[in-house]
Amino acid sequence: MNIVSIFIQTLVGGIGIGSLYALVALGYSMIYRSMGLVNFAHGSIYMIGTYFGIIWYRGMVMGLQVPYPIAFVMGILLTAILGLILERIFRPLAHLDLMLMLLGTIGLGYVLDNLAVIIWGAEGFAVNSPLPNEPIVIGGVALLPQMLLLITVSALLMVGLNVFLAKSKMGKAMRAAAQDRETASAMGIPVNTTNALVFAIGAGLAAAAGILAAPIVYVNPAMSAAVGLKGFAAFILGGAGSIPGAIVGGLVFGVLEAISAGFISSAYTKGIAFVVMIVVLMIKPAGIVGEVTVDKV
């Protein structure tokens, strides 16, 4: 394999893992824009959402095993319902100062992590891919079918989200409510309802990321911390509160990680990606695509 093939394969792998980070970062960004809330429990929601889908695929609920696509949809819907419940819990936090807000979300994240350990155990498990494990070789570049599925479905979800926000009546209401809550409320837009929907969508996207990545990573309750942190880093790198920024930040962070692992050392992967992120923020504090102020959904 020549250097060009290695670079392309590394790049595709980076886009794949970056797609995961981008879907998680979208949840951070949407909730921040709509409620002004920095939700540090979002990594735990990602982990719970992964379990919500995979338990059906692996037949862990009364031995009832369902095909992967159905488990994927069930996991997203169950996690979206969890998001609606969590929004009611988090709603009072949005009116508190930043420190109390952070403590509240971090605390609830720990609660979710411990619930996962109690329900599913701390050991975790590997998940068989619903697609063939043999890589697809194109021009000397070997690509895992599951990674291609992750990239493709993630891209469709991101496009669908942007179309929903831009074209649908509810999407426009969500943007209006996030832009100016008081004016939107005076015009009859149910702000609390739009916030709840934002929370549900963010949770559903995190679940989609986890279920798509489950056959590639190892599913366990501890997975919440690493992806939650990297999703948050992507949210900051792209620009806090920016929907396009969350996507760009996630992809850039994933590609940085993959290039670091492929051409330097996997031991420095996390460090190098975070160093680059800090340098970018020192040069452009608002992030790659971000806005200087919160301009909500």
Q: Tens of pLDDT along 214-271?
A: 999 999 999 999 899 889 989 988 888 889 999 999 999 899 888 888 887 777 777 7
The average confidence (pLDDT) of the chain is 89
- Is residue 264 within 8 Å of 271, Cβ to Cβ? no
pLDDT at site 98: 77
- Burial label for 230, CB within 10 Å (0-12, 13-18, 19+), is buried
CA distance 282 to 243: 21
DSSP per residue, 204-263: HHHHHHHHHHTTTS-B-TTHHHHHHHHHHHHHHHH-TT-HHHHHHHHHHHHHHHHHHHHH
pLDDT at site 3: 79
At residue 59 the predicted structure's pLDDT band, cuts being 50, 70 and 90, is very high
Nearest to 77 by CA among 205, 250, 182: 205
pLDDT at site 141: 82
- pLDDT tens-digit readout, 105-125: 999 999 999 999 999 999 999
